[in-house]
Structure formats: structure tokens, C-alpha cells
Amino acid sequence: MKILKVGGGSSINWDFVGEDVARFLKNEQLIIVHGAGAIRDEIATQLNTPSRTIISPSGYSSTYTDKKAIEIFLMVYPGLMNKQIVAKLQSYGVNAVGLSGIDGRLWQAKRKKEILSQEGSKIKVIKDSFTGKVEKINTDLLKLLLGAQYLPVLCPPAISEEYEIVNTDNDTATAVLAKEMKCKEIIILFEAPGLLKNYKDESTMIKHIPKEKIDDYLPYAQGRMKKKVLGAKKAFENGVTKIYWGDGRIAQPITRLLKGEGTIIS
Amino acid sequence: MKILKVGGGSSINWDFVGEDVARFLKNEQLIIVHGAGAIRDEIATQLNTPSRTIISPSGYSSTYTDKKAIEIFLMVYPGLMNKQIVAKLQSYGVNAVGLSGIDGRLWQAKRKKEILSQEGSKIKVIKDSFTGKVEKINTDLLKLLLGAQYLPVLCPPAISEEYEIVNTDNDTATAVLAKEMKCKEIIILFEAPGLLKNYKDESTMIKHIPKEKIDDYLPYAQGRMKKKVLGAKKAFENGVTKIYWGDGRIAQPITRLLKGEGTIIS
């Protein structure tokens, strides 16, 4: 079994992904985790509450998630995006079932009581952000569905111990999911051919990263890509042996990535 | 096993419902079906595409559901509303799992190619409405979840044979669900104490309706209540023997309704 994580960019081609998932499932089981960042930002703007980004003092970006942002999150991730993905997969003959981290307490998180935001030279403490770290997975529910030949299609938010709905970092959640499902390989699709030395030049793609040297590649990671590097580190700590980073915009994205078209960390 | 259908009105008290569901589950299993009409209309207005109502030539109202309306539907029903209900139920110790009719093709519908709209003295044919009638239920998925002690929390939309996402009448869908799950009793909670002879006067509540005389009570049903009467008729045709209509705004709504506080059709 592998985990397929697909980013939330607007140019991911879900027809290509859906067709290739159907092909993949002939030989092996899969769990999908997806994002929805681009459409979330779009809907948030339409609702006059544009998404706000927080930069942590160590330079990682995340979304400021107050009560209103959680509502928009619920609308877009388990609503608009998840259900459109499930319908698309169904159209390729894949019996997909969409679940958020709330359903069956699939992703149980610890809410962060405070998060730090670097604002110019000042560090601000934010207390009304509903964000958390996934710590526990309801593997029974996933095994129940996989055992009956359903494909679980998962997305945030997660649920806290106090039953709050919390946004969570998908890359870390995927690493915890891999650990608890004893999954050795993660396929990650986003809007680039792989990790690029120069992020403006696709010809500078890095073909292979030795997993013990992943820190050396952090300087090449721009913006949210930094979190993917961090998530990969966490995944390797959790027993994963191979991570594939590839392009979610091209035909047969999974097949081609598994054959080496992308960045492989191992 | 009973089906609990909860309306999508803004004054349904989900704390009262959640607490009472936890009590109910000590003795019997349940499937929940819910609406989200009020918040859907609110979000649609905020997104500058207010919901439009169609009145059929026979006087039944429904929502005009074009592509944009389906997107808002996805945001609110399986997104915002379903996940907030699931989190609320979880907070009362109920292991709820939220699913739309798309997931695992739970609600398979036939899309209506044309619907008729009475506009003044004219009848207009609408061809771009994504609405359909649920004809088949994935009972295997429901039994899988119920067998593992999960509470399924279901909502539209449904999925068509051509994998289109379609809005569907919840009352009819519930009747089909009852048939395929061989469920004999349906509990329906909405924003009134029951069916009222005079809809402005709660003291005129009808305590009992003989199921063979349900047509005689149609004149008392206002607006969307007409569909509930029609849904009840369909449910009795499908083998249901008892339907409870009661108030979703009060404490212990299920317990009190089962004891007779509401309209019982049998």
C-alpha cells in the first residue's frame, strides 16, 4: 500500500490523476490525501475574508485560521474539493469514499494554544488560531474501508481532543498516517516536475536526494515547499523508506513518477 | 434501526439532537440524514448568487441548481454543515462518520433531463438543472460502517449514472434509504412541533395521522412541508410503518417525540 498526496494547486489535472489511480489500483492499494489551498484562497476572497499567511520566526509559512477561516476551510476541503475529487475518481471506476479528519476522528490532533508570527522585527503571539498537529490516526476505519475495496480520499481539518475543528499541516499528517498504517512509500504530486535547484528553471530538477542528506536540500525549497521537506524528514523518522515528488499536471503522473520522472528521496 | 432525518433550518439545536442521539444509541442503531437549506441560502447570498426557487406546475417548490449552485451545495452540505454535525456528535461520544451521496456512490440518482417551472401563467422548461431522483443506495457501505459501530451521517448531493453531481430531494432519498435498509420507522425533526392545522398556531398540532389518509392532510402542509407529506407517502409505499414528525429545537427532541410529543403517522 502507498499513500498518494496531491497538492491543492489550481493546475493539478485530476483527470490525469484519476485515470492513473485506476491503473495503479490494479496492482496495489492506495490512500489519497489532498489539499485545496488555491480554491480555498479564491472562495475566502469572494467571501471578503481573504486568507492570511503567518510566517513563523523560523521562516515557515502557514495559514492564519480563526473561526471564520475554519468555516471556509470546511466548505472547501471536505466539501467542494473532496467531493469533486471523489466524483471524478468514481467516473474512472474507482470506488472512492471521501473523509475528513473529523469523520470517525480519523485525524486526532493536539491544538496549538499559541502560535508565533514574525511581523517585521516583532514576534506576535496568536491565540485564536484553530491549528493543530495530528498525533493519532483511526487506522481501524481506514482498514475497514480498504478491506472492502474502497479507496479512502482524506483531507483536513482534523479534530482536537476537545472536539475542536482544527487546521493541520497536511505534510506532517501524511507522515503520521504513513507511520500508523505502516506504509513505506509516499507519492507526492504538486505543480512542479520535482524539487528544482533554481525554482524558476524546470531544467534544474534534482533527480535523487539521499534521505540522510535531506537537510542539505532545504535551501532549494521555496515557500510552502519548505514544509514538504520538513514533512519528508518526519516521514523518514516514521519508518518511510522512499518518497516520490512529481508533477500533478501531466498525463500518467503516478506511472511516470514511479519510473523516475521526478525527485526521489531514498 | 431507525432513520433520523433532521431539517436544514437555522434554529435546529444540534446540541439537543447530539445529546439525545447518544442516549438513543444505547438501545438501537441509527442512520442520520440532514439538510442545510438555511445556511446554504445564506452562503449563496454572500457569494452573490442567491438561491432561486422553482415552483412546479403541481405546486411543489425546489431549488434551481445550476453548476454554480452545485458548487455552493458541495461547500455547505457535505462541507460546512456535515462536518460541524459530525464534530458535535463526536463531542457527545457518538462515533459519527459523515458521507455524501457521492461517497462510495451511496446515493445513486437518475438525473432529470428537464424540469418544469411555473412562472406566472407560463410553464418554462429548464435544462441546466443538476437535480435527480435517488434510485439506488450502496447498502454495503452503510452496513460496513454500522457493523463497526459507526453512525453514518448522510447528506446530498447524490451522483448520477453519468457521474454528475446532482441535488436531490432529501425526503424521497430518505424513503428509498428506508426501503433498501429495511427500516420500518423514520424520525423527522424540523422547526415546528409537528404538522399544524393552522401553520401560524402551534396549538393546532395534529397528533395522529392514519397512514392511509395522509392525502387528506396535504392541504395543511405549507411550502416545503408539502414535500415531507409526499416523502412520507413514498416511505409508506416502501414498507415503512411509522413516521414521527417533531421539533428539532427542543431538549431531548427524539425521546420526547417517540413518547408522542409531535405528529405520528401510522
**Percentage of residues in chain A with pLDDT exceeding 90?**
86
Total domains, chain B: 1
Residue B53 CB neighbour total at 10 angstroms: 12
SS3 readout for chain B: CEEEEECCCCCCCHHHHHHHHHHHCCCCCEEEEECCHHHHHHHHHHCCCCCEEEECCCCCEEEECCHHHHHHHHHHHHHHHHHHHHHHHHHCCCCEEEEECCHHHCEEEEECCCEEEEECCEEEEECCCCEEEEEEECHHHHHHHHHCCCEEEEECCEEECCCCEEEECHHHHHHHHHHHCCCCEEEEEECCCCCECCCCCHHHECCEECHHHHHHHHHHCCCCHHHHHHHHHHHHHCCCCEEEEEECCCCCHHHHHHCCCCEEEC
pLDDT on residue B152: 98
Query: What mean pLDDT is predicted for residues A201-210?
Result: 94
Domain of residue A252 covers: 2-265
What residues have CB less than 8 Å from A262, skipping those under 6 apart? A193, A194, A205, A244, A245, A246, A247, A256
Closest chain B residue to the Cα of A144, Cα to Cα? B144
In tens, the pLDDT along B148-184 reads: 999 999 999 999 999 999 999 899 999 999 999 999 9
Contacts of A74 in chain B (CB under 8 A): 79-80, 83-84
Query: Could you tell me which residues of chain A have a Cβ less than 8 Å from any Cβ in chain B?
Result: 43, 46-47, 71, 74-80, 82-84, 86-88, 90-91, 95-100, 102-105, 140-141, 144-145, 148, 150, 157, 159, 163-165
Contacts of A79 in chain B (CB under 8 A): 74-80, 83
The CATH number for B38's domain is 3.40.1160.10
Is the Cβ pair A84, B165 closer than 8 Å? yes
Q: Which amino acid is at A7?
A: G
pLDDT on residue B20: 98
Distance from CA of B78 to the nearest CA of A (A): 5
pLDDT on residue B75: 98
In angstroms, rounded to a whole number, what is the distance separating the alpha carbons of residues B37 and B204?
A: 26
pLDDT on residue B77: 98
Can you give the length of chain A in residues?
Answer: 266
The secondary structure of residue A8, as a DSSP letter, is -
pLDDT on residue B14: 98
pLDDT on residue A81: 98
**If you count residue pairs, one on A and one on B, with CB atoms under 8 Å apart, how many are there?**
119
Strand B122-126 with B115-119, pairing: antiparallel
pLDDT at A223 over 80: no
Is the Cβ pair B74, A77 closer than 8 Å? no
In tens, the pLDDT along B23-69 reads: 999 999 999 999 999 999 999 999 999 988 899 898 888 888 999 99
The secondary structure of residue A75, as a DSSP letter, is I
Contacts of A70 in chain B (CB under 8 A): none
Distance from CA of B254 to the nearest CA of A (A): 23
Which of A225, A239, A113 is CA-nearest to residue A176?
A239
In tens, the pLDDT along A74-95 reads: 999 999 999 999 999 999 999 9
In tens, the pLDDT along B9-19 reads: 999 999 999 99
Beta bridge partner(s), residue A167: A131
Judged on CB neighbours under 10 Å (0-12, 13-18, 19+), A263 is buried
Query: What mean pLDDT is predicted for residues B6-11?
Result: 96
Place of cell 476572497: A45
Query: Could you tell me which residues of chain B have a Cβ less than 8 Å from any Cβ in chain A?
Result: 43, 46-47, 71, 74-80, 82-84, 86-88, 90-91, 95-100, 102-105, 140-141, 144-145, 148, 150, 157, 159, 163-165
Q: Which of A126-135, A203-212, B218-227, B238-247 has the lowest mean pLDDT?
A: B218-227
pLDDT on residue B117: 92
Q: Which amino acid is at A25?
A: L
In angstroms, rounded to a whole number, what is the distance separating the alpha carbons of residues B191 and B213?
A: 24
pLDDT on residue B61: 81
pLDDT at B242 over 80: yes
Contacts of A155 in chain B (CB under 8 A): none
Query: What pTM was estimated for this model as a whole?
Result: 0.96
pLDDT on residue B110: 96
Which of A245, A248, A186 is CA-nearest to residue A16?
A248
What is the per-residue DSSP string for A105-125?
Answer: G-EEEEEPS-EEEEETTEEEE
| Residue among B90, B103, B163 whose CB faces A98 most closely | B103
pLDDT at B92 over 90: yes
Q: Which of A138-152, A220-234, B208-222 has the lowest mean pLDDT?
A: A220-234
Contacts of A77 in chain B (CB under 8 A): 79
In tens, the pLDDT along A43-70 reads: 999 999 998 989 989 888 888 899 999 9
The secondary structure of residue A200, as a DSSP letter, is T
pLDDT at A224 over 80: no
Q: Which of A212-226, B137-151, B250-264 has the lowest mean pLDDT?
A: A212-226
Q: B205 vs B22, B161, B185, B220, B263, CA distance in Å? A: 28, 41, 21, 10, 7
Q: How far is CA B3 from the centre of its chain?
A: 10
- CA A22, A24, A30, A32 torsion-angle sign: negative
In angstroms, rounded to a whole number, what is the distance separating the alpha carbons of residues A246 and A35?
A: 15
The more confident residue out of A198 and B81 is B81
The secondary structure of residue A103, as a DSSP letter, is G
Q: Which of A9-18, A202-211, A251-260, B51-60 has the lowest mean pLDDT?
A: B51-60
Strand A122-126 with A115-119, pairing: antiparallel
In tens, the pLDDT along A164-199 reads: 999 998 999 999 999 999 999 999 999 999 999 998
Strand A242-247 with A263-265, pairing: antiparallel
| Residue among A79, A140, A163 whose CB faces B80 most closely | A79
Place of cell 418544469: B116
pLDDT on residue B60: 81
Residue B259: which pLDDT band, with cuts at 50, 70 and 90?
very high
pLDDT on residue A69: 95
The more confident residue out of B28 and B227 is B28
Mean pLDDT value across chain B: 95
Which of B167, B74, B155 is CA-nearest to residue B129?
B167
pLDDT on residue B225: 84
Strand A107-111 with A158-160, pairing: parallel
Contacts of B83 in chain A (CB under 8 A): 74, 78-79, 100, 102-103, 157, 165
Distance from CA of B265 to the nearest CA of A (A): 33
pLDDT on residue A106: 98
Contact B131, B62 (CB under 8 A): yes
pLDDT on residue A199: 85
In angstroms, rounded to a whole number, what is the distance separating the alpha carbons of residues A115 and A60?
A: 12
- ipTM for this prediction: 0.96
pLDDT on residue A78: 98
In tens, the pLDDT along A230-259 reads: 899 999 999 999 999 999 999 999 999 999
Judged on CB neighbours under 10 Å (0-12, 13-18, 19+), A42 is middle
Is the Cβ pair A97, B99 closer than 8 Å? yes
Query: What mean pLDDT is predicted for residues B90-118?
Result: 96
Query: What mean pLDDT is predicted for residues A25-46?
Result: 97
pLDDT at A154 over 90: yes
pLDDT on residue A61: 81
Closest chain A residue to the Cα of B160, Cα to Cα? A87
